[in-house]
Amino acid sequence: MFFSRRPKNRRSERVLVLDVKLRSQARRANRWRFAVLALTALVTVALGYALGERGWQWLREHAFYSNQAFALNTIEVQTDGWISPDQVRQWAGVKLGDNLLAIDLDRIKRDLELIPQVEQAVVERVLPHLLRLQVTEREPIAQVQGLQPDERGSLVPAVLYLDAQGVAIPPLAQTQPHPLVSQALAALPVIRGVSSAELRAGQPTQHPAARTALRLVTELERSPLANLVELRAVELSSPGVLVATTSQGAEVTLGTDDLEQQLRRWRLVHQAGLRLGRAIGSLDLSVSNNCPLVWLEDSAVPPPKSKPVKFLPHRKKHV
């Protein structure tokens, strides 16, 4: 018939379906092959890394860390003179015979800088046998005296030193400093009005008046007045002012602002007293428009005293 359909080519359809199935199977086989290769590569890399890591650990342990060729035989210590080299070696926690390569330099630096008396530490490894420790000590410029409980609970006199940044420095325990160091520490001006209980070793004080007193000590030492007077104490009991006492018997009241200008006025009054043969009994520099002044009763200048040795660190190297 005119509208009858032409017979289909069944053979062609079967070939087409077979070709599609073959290509699909080939793609699946390729994907499996790629997955196997990727997994093999990953396992190979992981195994190689593990073997390499174990091999490096073995090499490091036997060729370096256990090698007597790198045994420590010299600990060189450089200090400013207050801390003994034996004390620094003890703080460092290393001993002769330790393997130099196995020593943790960062740990030593961290431990040393946690010591209140130490401002900065430099640790250097010098192969094959030398460890170099360089310690910059905190320089005390004042002291705070008070009481603290001992092991039996009794209150005993105690002293803390302060550096220019207000960091509290306790005395070195169980050590006898050099006589010159002891003399310099004893001559430091005493800050009164702040309790030692308010201070934490190794931490800067947050007491505002105490920080101002430290600024007074620092600026006085930098001024020409440092060669004329010896500061013995700074009293903080009155708000807004500092009362400085000198070894010559003078009592000088200063405001907490513009200390440099007040020190210049103090020097002018001191020089005027020298010309008149008089000595300052009391002087109020906290008043800006005049200087209330009282001369000593005996009208005689006290004989000059030799200034005590100052705590001036000088670097010492010990091997």
Yes or no: say if 273 and 148 are a contact pair by the CB < 8 Å rule: no
Average pLDDT, integer, range 16-20? 54
121-159 pLDDT, tens digit per residue, is 999 999 999 999 999 999 999 999 877 777 787 777 889
Neighbours of 99 (CB within 10 A): 15
Closest CA to 147 of 166, 134, 160: 160
Residue 253: pLDDT band with limits 50, 70, 90: very high
> Tokens at residue 143, please?
């002291």
Closest CA to 204 of 190, 192, 214, 193: 214
158-175 pLDDT, tens digit per residue, is 899 999 999 999 988 766
> Tokens at residue 32, please?
């499996």
Yes or no: say if 105 and 111 are a contact pair by the CB < 8 Å rule: no
Closest CA to 121 of 176, 77, 63: 77
Query: What was the pLDDT predicted at 3?
Result: 46
Average pLDDT, integer, range 168-189? 84
> Tokens at residue 44, please?
């190979």
> Tokens at residue 33, please?
């092959």
Closest CA to 100 of 139, 137, 131: 131
> Tokens at residue 140, please?
């005390």
Please state, in angstroms and rounded to a whole number, the distance separating the CA atoms of residues 302 and 300: 6
The structure's pTM equals: 0.74
Yes or no: say if 205 and 211 are a contact pair by the CB < 8 Å rule: yes
Please state, in angstroms and rounded to a whole number, the distance separating the CA atoms of residues 233 and 194: 12
Q: Helices 105-113 and 85-92, interaxial angle, to 10°?
A: 120
Query: What was the pLDDT predicted at 190?
Result: 97
Average pLDDT, integer, range 299-315? 55
Average pLDDT, integer, range 234-252? 95
Q: 159 phi and psi, to 5 degrees?
A: -135, 140
> Tokens at residue 205, please?
């004080």
Please state, in angstroms and rounded to a whole number, the distance separating the CA atoms of residues 231 and 105: 42
> Tokens at residue 51, please?
């073997």
